[in-house]
Structure 1
Amino acid sequence: MELSIDKEIIEAYGFTADNISLQQIGSGHINLTYLLSSLKDDKKYILQNINTEVFKDPFAIANNIKAVADYLKEHNPDYLFPAPVTTLNGDAMAHHNDEYWRLLPFVADTIAFDTLSEPKQAYEAAKQFGKFSRLLNQFDTSVLNDTIPGFHDLAWRYEQFTFALSKTSASLKASANHEIETALHHHFIVDYYHSYEHSKDFPNRVMHHDTKISNVLLNATTNIGVCVIDLDTLMPGKFISDLGDMMRTYLCAFSENETDLNKIKIRLPYFEATVKGYLSEMKDILTPTEKELILFSGRYMVYMQALRFLTDYLSGSIYYPITYPTQNLDRAKNQFKLLSELSENEKILQDIIEECLS
């Protein structure tokens, strides 16, 4: 076979080019991912390149995962946590030519979806992300590194927006005038978060920070949740990062690339399934303040993503890949519409939350 990966990476894990097969897999846009099959014993692994343009310190990721893996092995040894396989030298990653690679165990008989097709999938995914945080409830988050500093810092994202607004061209500013006004109007979300930010009743927890449906494995036959994967963004954070991101990505049938805003609606069965799944694990762990902020978590994450798309548009679309000039503006419009849906359905959604809590 012809390898597109340096042989030193393969050999670091005890393989050679002639005793493996490689197949590129995954729908992620950050890291290159391959299914590595050993021709000697039929074992399968996930071989993944860490994108150092996004993750500047791969060792921060490795140290975070090891700290959590060690804790879970001691306190919850039966929990399936697919930690990286070490190299022949005992290292967490293989390093060659400024590239960092890791080898992960392949979890058989599982499936990862790119999109949700039924509420049960949302329930199972939310349950798995909730279980992950519950099992780490007593873990000392201060030992973890920020693998992407400021990743879910809404105040910083707002500052980025206002800076981009001050530097953008007159034409870009004019074309995004309505979205700019919407972004400025919703600054109260930043202020509302600040009023709770330092409360003792609003603790830092171990958060996944990227809870899209493709980052959880479900049983291929039953669709019952198995484990969470893709732990690059495992960091300390508030519970709103995970639950809010699930609301942002699970509730609407269409992604942020949908330009027909009439299609951007909240699917109530998916909202209920997501909240029920998460609270099935976290209900007894969340503080009164956190329970009060369940619906706010969705607003926080949707507003932040809208800001990020709008900021990138005003900056000349230098971060998010685009296929046409106004795509990031359209994405911002999409997310602001989803934000308005959360507000317009607040009474119904809060009633669902209260029922799940009771």
Structure 2
Amino acid sequence: MNINIDRAQISHVLEAYLCDTETSKIMPLGNGLINTTYLVSNPDKKFVLQRINHHVFTEPNQVINNADLINEHLHVKQKLGEYHLEPIWQIKNHQGDSMVQYRDNSWRAIQFIPNCFTIEKVESAQQAHEVANAFGAFTCALSDFPAEQLDEIITDFHHLAFRLSQLSQAKANDPKGRLANCQHLVTACLSETAFIDEVADIVKKLPVQVTHNDTKINNLLFAKATNKPVAVIDLDTCMPGFVMHDFGDMVRTCCSNLPEDGKNIDELSISIEIFQGLARGYIESFQGKLSTLEQQSLVIGAQLLPFMIGIRFLTDYLDGDNYFHTQYNEHNLSRALNQITMYQRLKDQRETLHDIVMNAHR
């Protein structure tokens, strides 16, 4: 058992799931940056064991309760033939609870689906179509679930005005004396008043849906037999939101030719083919249930997510790199410049992107 958690804690947690540490093999699983995740294997069962990061998720019980509610609804939809993917169940412990507490740590066990794999990067327009179709099917299946029953896991997570206020505060305080290194970028962000106003206006009109809010391709499981998505995973940030957020995060993480911290930003470009695959896959998955306004909002979301995460990177840089893990002093600044550049590229191609989105289901 080669893991960085004390044996007493693991034993306590595994006992709650009627497992013995002596007969269980415990291995790190995945490359997530927030929670700590392991694969537990023994002669009787195999499951995912996860410690929830209580610094990010200050109310772990809300994360777990939301996931239970979502999976129960998806299960009903699956039985009705209205959801083609697999829910990922949280496993009840011997007391019938979905969470095990050990001192300050909250743990849960999650169903393991065998013969699956994850992908880190979209490689083709067809794959982009499949990714977007899976995430869209997830939200579509939850479209009749009362979103107000879910807890807001991270307050103001995709609230642009809040993120801008954080940037303005960091600029005013400049606690690490870094403003001189990025004044031009701060000014550029705060000067995007037309787009900021457009976002503020449309969120007043959009219907609230249950959204995933972390729609990276590595939050899908793919079947080895078919290479097709079989499950949406990592429901930790699922909460009430807007479809433009989920679509925008897919665009942000799939359509650039550079990683989000790539420095050679003069070479940054947007793959129209990948964007087209995402748009078609996402819109088709809703089977006509997206309103015209929601469909129009997808282009705004495509610009919004890199703009907003760029602002968050920039704010964290000014504050001294307190939130995002960094590998060198200017890492968050490089990320911010990359994402704001991506926003500008998308802005420059907005008319083309709009035409793709509005014609995606014809």
Aligned positions of 1:132-171 closer than 5 A: 132-168=138-174, 171=177
Asked if the contact 1:128–1:225 (Cα under 8 Å) also holds between the matched residues in 2, the reply is: yes
Q: Distance in 2 between matches of 1:2 and 1:186?
A: 50
> In structure 2, which of residues 322, 334, 337 is the aligned counterpart of residue 318 of structure 1?
322
| Cα-to-partner distance string for 1:191-221 (whole Å, 9 max, x where unaligned) | 112212222xx11100000011110111224
Partner residue, 1:348: 352
RMSD of aligned Cα (Å): 1.6
Asked if the contact 1:219–1:225 (Cα under 8 Å) also holds between the matched residues in 2, the reply is: yes
Asked if the contact 1:46–1:105 (Cα under 8 Å) also holds between the matched residues in 2, the reply is: yes
SS of corresponding position for 1:17: coil
Deviates more, 1:268-277 or 1:166-175: 166-175
Q: Which runs of 5+ in 1 are unaligned?
A: none
Q: Distance in 1 between matches of 2:329 and 2:61?
A: 36
Aligned positions of 1:1-358 closer than 5 A: 1=1, 4=5, 5=7, 6=9, 7-38=11-42, 40-41=43-44, 43-77=45-79, 79=83, 80-168=86-174, 171-199=177-205, 202-358=206-362
Identity of aligned residues (%): 31
Instruction: Name the amino acid aligned to 2:285.
Output: E
Q: Distance in 2 between matches of 1:120 and 1:340?
A: 26
Asked if the contact 2:296–2:357 (Cα under 8 Å) also holds between the matched residues in 1, the reply is: no
Q: Which runs of 5+ in 2 are unaligned?
A: none
Instruction: Name the amino acid aligned to 2:192.
Output: H
Instruction: Name the amino acid aligned to 1:157.
Output: R
Q: Scaled by the length of structure 2, what TM-score is found?
A: 0.94
Q: State the 4+ residue runs in structure 1 displaced beyond 3 angstroms.
A: 1-5
Deviates more, 1:125-134 or 1:317-326: 317-326
* TM superposition shift of 1:342: 0.3
SS of corresponding position for 2:299: helix
SS of corresponding position for 1:33: strand
Q: Distance in 2 between matches of 1:354 and 1:46?
A: 41
* TM superposition shift of 1:327: 1.3
Asked if the contact 1:49–1:100 (Cα under 8 Å) also holds between the matched residues in 2, the reply is: yes
Instruction: Name the amino acid aligned to 1:87.
Output: N
* TM superposition shift of 1:146: 0.7
Q: Scaled by the length of structure 1, what TM-score is found?
A: 0.95
Q: Distance in 2 between matches of 1:47 and 1:190?
A: 41
* TM superposition shift of 1:126: 0.9
Asked if the contact 1:127–1:225 (Cα under 8 Å) also holds between the matched residues in 2, the reply is: no
* TM superposition shift of 1:283: 4.9
